[in-house]
Amino acid sequence: MTAAVRLARVSAEPLDVAAHLAAVADPAMGAVTAFVGSVRDADPDAAGPVVALEYTAHPDAEAVLRRLAEGAGDGVLIAVSHRSGRLGVGEPAVVIAVASAHRAAAFAACRALIESIKADLPVWKRQVEADGTTAWKGLGG
């Protein structure tokens, strides 16, 4: 059995956490976990404040995201989205909601999915600092 993916999207539109939670709502599921990864204003490698991240997605990124979600766990429901485009500090870049009958499976699937997204999703980010300096982050693994 694989995960039932109710939503897997890469989009330039703002992400709606409530919509992800609603997508995995099911009376047979007793546990729901969520992960929201947001743009922060600092990075250890940055010389100054970070003001934005610019995400560029490969045309196949959404199909890859669906495959990653399907492999995240057994017997779970998943809704996941990743942003593309320019995001300011505080904006969600990735949202994951996972429902399962019991909490352990929901936590495990949520953790597995964010780790596989970070490792395998063909979406790249460029960090923008307050002084205009930019740097590509996470290239090459």
pLDDT digits (tens, 9 = 90+) for 19-53: 999 999 999 999 999 999 999 999 988 889 999 99
The per-residue pLDDT for range 47-99, each reduced to its tens digit, is: 899 999 999 999 999 999 999 999 999 999 999 999 999 999 999 999 999 99
List alpha helices for 72-141, DSSP H.
Answer: 103-120
Q: Judge whether 25 and 99 are in contact, CB under 8 Å.
A: yes
Edge-first strand listing for the sheet containing 134-137: 85-88, 50-57, 123-129, 134-137
What's residue 139's pLDDT? 63
Nearby residues of 54 by Cβ (< 8 Å), 6 or more positions away? 85, 86, 87, 125, 126, 128, 134
Q: Which class does domain 4-136 fall in?
A: alpha beta
